[in-house]
Structure 1
């Protein structure tokens, strides 16, 4: 009976992981559509050469996608936690967290530059 419950939990977590990974990919796809639409509008309106608002919009989508992908990795490791998987998760978490941190920092700096105010450090 315990094996049946454990198998059901593992199956449920794997389905949840797949859903979260799919959401992450979907967020990136939506971000790409937003960027393409933004670029088309940018060139159609003949605006200046600043792509900063378009970059900021895409960066927000990437930040959310990174969070979702990290969550999927955590779910994957929680089902069968071997030391090898835990080590890989730690490496992935560090890389994705660093990417997310610097991406968020750049978003804040670009927003402050666009608004003409000094950038405030994010906590």
Structure 2
């Protein structure tokens, strides 16, 4: 299973479980439902973070050339950009933010 597919599943579970947790909190506040959804949401959050770190290089990263001015980008050429990784840390919607950034980056033409 690819990292992007794991990320899509994790992002969906993360967002859906957050919505269900908030609905439960605003309505009946059933303790068994909270006990089930809380750990599910936390696990999905961790899966999204791990899947983001496992993503292959995307178009959002800078490609390297042989010039000395771009030598600093050589270490980031095989990983997602730092901004993508930081977005994964946003609780609740981080996975959706990462997916949007990855899809936008893959839609750009490669130079």
- The question of a shared fold, defined as TM-score above 0.5 by the shorter chain, is answered with no
Q: Which has the higher contact order (CA 8 A, sep 6+)?
A: 2
TM-score by length of 2: 0.43
TM-score by length of 1: 0.40
The higher radius of gyration belongs to 1
Larger helix proportion of the pair: 1
